[in-house]
Amino acid sequence: MDKAQDGHPEGYRVLTHDDIPAYIAGVPAIVAQLGGGPADWTVRDVADGNLNAVYLVDGPAGGVCVKQALPYVRVHHDWPLAVERALFEHAYMVRLDPFVGRGAPQLYHFDPTLFTIVMEKLEPHIILRKGLIEGRHLPKAAPDTATFIANATFNTSDLAAPFERKFEDIAHFARNQALLRITMDLVLTDPYREVWRNRYVRPHMEGWAASFRSDIELKTAVARHRIGFLTNTQALIHGDLHSGSVMVTEDDTRVIDGEFASYGPIGLDTGAFIANLIMSWYAHGAYDRPEADRRAYRDWILEQIAIFWATFRDRFLTLWENATEAGDAYPADYFTDTAGKARLATIRRDYLDGIFADTVAFAALKMNRRIIGYAQIADYLVIEDLERRARAQAPALALARALLTRPERFADIAAILDAIPRFERAGLDPDAARHL
């Protein structure tokens, strides 16, 4: 791709709030979606993430969301970032549209020069993370997200896609290297070394950070899953599916922000979502709310973790069992007799068990990243007292360390649900928490 003198792709410029109406006016399909003209439109800047500019535009007939990839981290303008990531978010939306339907926003327009996506405006949806912090009961968020992941990953895996199509997709998404590097550095490397980006609570979490840097067993486990991330092209994954990447109402759920899309281990997506529910559970223990309310909401979160995994597993198996066109992994005519059908059932169970093992590991890696790495989460940031915040974070790190170094203790989701409250006893001394 040609680059201008400023290093950006030829023709690229950052759109400001005031530029949006004129930009939209040049896209006839979006003008029709909004109704009226630029003088009739209102524009709101709603960006709250680290990477992109996001505007909501309302007109007499409707609204749209305009998202532009910025050439830097939005909250650190001196940290450059490739705008080409929008190409992969667009490709992710297009590739998954036949499988996920209304599980994602509808795509209206993509501009490959300005790296801008115009999509469905989601209202009255809120970010799931905001709903969790506020203690809202959003009963469809967990099962709908699980269904989205199952639909997306099964249909892009070797279980459903011919290898020719899958290899073409792998080749395309393998070019999303700028964001894959972010995952490699911020998720799989930085929490276990000293680096300027790490943002843990000082001085209270110094002991935990130092412990992670010196723990050879922990770093060995992390390295094992780094290899998995680099080599396991299991399916097309979102790559950053946390509670800030899901928009919800009480009866509708949409997965957004697929710019980290790549072919990788399915457990990265399922693990990321579970990790955010676990951190929400620990954070709620420190919120200034009546004890009975906190206890009830934390019970609800544990229920959602169980529902999420059960829904994902059931949906994935249903898709596999009912597939009319199989991929190249397990030819259907290998398993037609009674013994073959029994063996295929075992293969399916083992495959899901493998995803669960990856889920456990990546949940741990995501928790470590969000607590002693870069990009802290609002669930914890709303706890203003730093020591209190740290005491709500330490249990998540203690649990994560156990998930990575003693995975045999966590063979099913029930074992994790049992462990979450038990690890709440972990304090600011990492050595004292090893017996939990």
Residues 67-125 have pLDDT tens digits of: 999 998 877 778 889 999 999 999 999 999 999 999 999 999 999 999 999 999 999 99
Q: Give the pLDDT score at 398.
A: 98
What single DSSP character describes residue 423?
G
Cα–Cα distances (Å) from 326 to 106, 159, 234, 241, 418, in that order, read: 28, 6, 15, 27, 37
Name beta bridge partners: 253: 248
Amino acid at the residue 407: P
Where in the chain is CATH 3.90.1200.10? Answer: 126-435
Greatest extent of the chain over all pairs of C-alpha atoms, in Å: 70
Full DSSP string of 194-254: --TT----TTTTHHHHHHHHH-HHHHHHHHHHHHHHHH---EEE-S--STTSEEE-SS-EE
Amino acid at the residue 415: A
pLDDT band per the 50, 70, 90 thresholds, residue 3: low
Rg of the chain in Å (alpha carbons): 22
Q: Is the pTM of this model over 0.85?
A: yes
Whether the pLDDT of residue 258 is over 80: the answer is yes
Q: Give the pLDDT score at 73.
A: 80
Contact criterion met (CB below 8 Å) for 401 and 362:
no
Neighbours of 190 (CB within 10 A): 20
Where in the chain is CATH 3.30.200.20? Answer: 17-120
Both tokens assigned to 7:
């290093």
For 220, residues 6+ apart whose C-beta sits below 8 A from its C-beta are none
Residue among 230, 233, 239, 276 nearest 259 (CA): 239
Whether the pLDDT of residue 1 is over 60: the answer is no
Both tokens assigned to 381:
């940031």
Pick the CATH number of 126-435 from 3.30.70.20, 1.10.1660.10, 3.40.50.11540, 3.90.1200.10: 3.90.1200.10
Please tell me the distance from the alpha carbon of residue 241 to that of residue 26, in angstroms, as a whole number. Answer: 33
pLDDT in tens, 28-59: 999 999 999 999 999 999 987 778 999 999 99
pLDDT in tens, 141-196: 999 999 999 999 999 999 999 999 999 999 999 999 999 999 999 999 999 999 99
Fold of 17-120: Phosphorylase Kinase; domain 1 (3.30.200)
Whether the pLDDT of residue 2 is over 60: the answer is no
Structural element, H or E, at residue 10: none
Q: What average pLDDT does range 227-244 have in this prediction?
A: 98
Q: Is the peptide bond before 98 cis (omega within 30 degrees of 0)?
A: no
Could you give the 3-state DSSP secondary structure of residue 148? helix
Whether the pLDDT of residue 274 is over 80: the answer is yes
Q: Give the pLDDT score at 78.
A: 80
Separation of CA 146 from chain center: 12
Could you give the 3-state DSSP secondary structure of residue 385? coil
pLDDT band per the 50, 70, 90 thresholds, residue 6: low
Q: Where are the alpha helices (DSSP H) in 323-433?
A: 338-372, 378-381, 386-405, 413-422
Whether the pLDDT of residue 5 is over 60: the answer is no
pLDDT in tens, 307-343: 999 999 999 999 999 998 789 999 988 999 999 999 9
